[in-house]
Structure 1
Amino acid sequence: MATVILARHGRTSANASGVLAGRTPGIRLDDVGTEQARTAAARLGGLSLAAAFTSPLERCKETSALLLAGTGLRAKVERGLNECDYGEWSGRKMRTLVKEDLWKVIQAHPAGVTFPGGESMAAMSARAVEAVRRCDAAVTAEHGDNAVFLAVAHGDIIKAILADALGMHLDAFQRIVVDPASLSVVRYTPKRSYVLATNSHEGSLAHLAAQTEKPDEKLGGGAGSTSRATP
């Protein structure tokens, strides 16, 4: 099966000001977020991506365009990667949301949370995992098991995908950190999934193009890659 690079969008003014943007339209990268995405793009140098997918929201489309600049590849919108629908919480300041009773439940038992007027976190997780696995199967069918593709999404979406890949219950996904413009890597196989990187900010990912070890044959961590390089 193929390997997916999960990229969170770069920083936005909503992130910087502590606002829960959700699906609010018009939220775009700020200057810091643009530079973050350009830095992340340099880490993909030397890597031929088979395909790319993005959340339909502006901040992810902008990030994907920066990540793919000069490659000739354009990200396809995948609605399964859309941000969680936070309903009535969307657009509100985080400092006020943390005072809500629901906040404590979100931290301890997210699998049981449904946002007022919005989506449940369980539904968010299910659609995100289904989307990335469906994209992975399609890329594998067209480009083969060694293909690498990009998926640009949001913090909670990527955390949910990583939790699934790690075999973790959704209630534990708050233990995973996914910063703006960070890159995480998952390789799917018929038997299980392998998390190759999480929340990474430095180093070239070009070695993913020359994967020689079979994950199912590793013991004690394996030999690793000999083609790693810094950007």
Structure 2
Amino acid sequence: MPTLLLVRHGRSTANTAGVLAGWTPGVHLDETGRAQAAALAGRLDGIPLVKAVSSPLERCAETLAPLLDGRPELGPAAVDERLGECHYGDWTGRPLAELAEEPLWRTVQDHAAAAVFPGGESLRELSHRTVDAVREWNEKIEAEHGADAVWVACSHGDVIKAVVADALGLHLDHFQRISVEPCSVTAIRYTPQRPFVLRVGDTGSLASLAPRPPAEGGSAGAGQGDAVVGGDTGVR
């Protein structure tokens, strides 16, 4: 199945202010975030993307804009609400320093599977909707573009961490062990046997994520979903 490049949106005004933005409208990239978005297009240069999908929130659309401007063949990004930020309910718009004093904060940190945001959704619900979205898009993109296709989706920190936890087979309680910085790229290649997590929160060069022939760095006789015994050669 295809390779997914999960991009966290660039740094936003809410990130700078230390506020939990959630679905608050009108949260945009700050100056640093706009520079990160502009650099993303260059970091993905040489990777043949077939599709772009985005959370409906402004900061994600703004992050993808420079990339899409340079690749008109991709057209506009498809918007999928299931890749939107967690619905934090009554926590939305509050300072993180203040939220850290709430009893629920420790549950979110240490027992995420039990966390339900007052007036919002649970982290379990977040995980289910986002993983379902990713897997449905993978099936659609493979049907249209083949198993070697690469696509990009721009979303949010907790969304990406939930998808990575699923790909790694981690219990949701452990998803806080995963870190994804603003405008970082997390790459997951899905196969019929298992997902391969290729990058997590990468802010550097992404050139080695371009598709390659099976003979380059592959394992002779191995299936597409087989891990390379002894480790991947890294040859691209």
Instruction: State which drifts further: 102-111 or 204-213.
Output: 204-213
Residue in structure 2 matching 1:216, options 226, 229, 232? 226
Instruction: State which drifts further: 45-54 or 63-72.
Output: 63-72
Matched to 2:171, the amino acid is H
Tell me by how many angstroms 1:91 deviates.
Answer: 0.2
Aligned to 1:2: 2
Tell me by how many angstroms 1:220 deviates.
Answer: 1.6
Aligned to 1:53: 53
Flag the 1:183–1:211 CA change in 2: closer, same or farther, 3 A.
farther
Q: Does the CA contact (< 8 Å) of 1:140 and 1:147 recur in 2? A: yes
Matched to 1:172, the amino acid is H
What SS is found at the alignment partner of 2:210?
Answer: helix
Q: Does the CA contact (< 8 Å) of 1:34 and 1:63 recur in 2? A: yes
- Superposed CA offset, 1:183-202 (max 9, x none): 01000011110000011011
Flag the 1:191–1:31 CA change in 2: closer, same or farther, 3 A.
same
Question: Quick check: 1:155 aligned with 2:146?
Answer: no
Aligned to 1:187: 189
Q: Does the CA contact (< 8 Å) of 2:192 and 2:225 recur in 1? A: no
Residue in structure 2 matching 1:196, options 192, 195, 198? 198
What SS is found at the alignment partner of 2:198?
Answer: strand
* TM, length-normalised to structure 1: 0.95
Q: Does the CA contact (< 8 Å) of 1:211 and 1:225 recur in 2? A: no
* TM, length-normalised to structure 2: 0.93
Q: Does the CA contact (< 8 Å) of 1:88 and 1:117 recur in 2? A: yes
Q: Which stretches of structure 1, 4 residues or more, deviate above 6 A after TM superposition? A: none
Distance 2:145 2:32 in 1: 35
Matched to 2:51, the amino acid is A
| Identical aligned residues as a percent | 48
Tell me by how many angstroms 1:204 deviates.
Answer: 3.1
Distance 2:132 2:51 in 1: 17
What SS is found at the alignment partner of 1:5?
Answer: strand
**In the TM superposition, what are the counterparts of 1:1-231 in structure 2 within 5 Å?**
1-72=1-72, 73=74, 74-205=76-207, 207-210=209-212, 212=214, 213=218, 214-226=224-236
Tell me by how many angstroms 1:70 deviates.
Answer: 1.0
Gaps spanning 5+ residues in structure 2: where? Answer: 219-223
The aligned length equals 226
Matched to 1:208, the amino acid is A
Instruction: State which drifts further: 38-47 or 208-217.
Output: 208-217
Flag the 1:180–1:211 CA change in 2: closer, same or farther, 3 A.
farther
Distance 1:79 1:129 in 2: 13
Tell me by how many angstroms 1:211 deviates.
Answer: 5.1
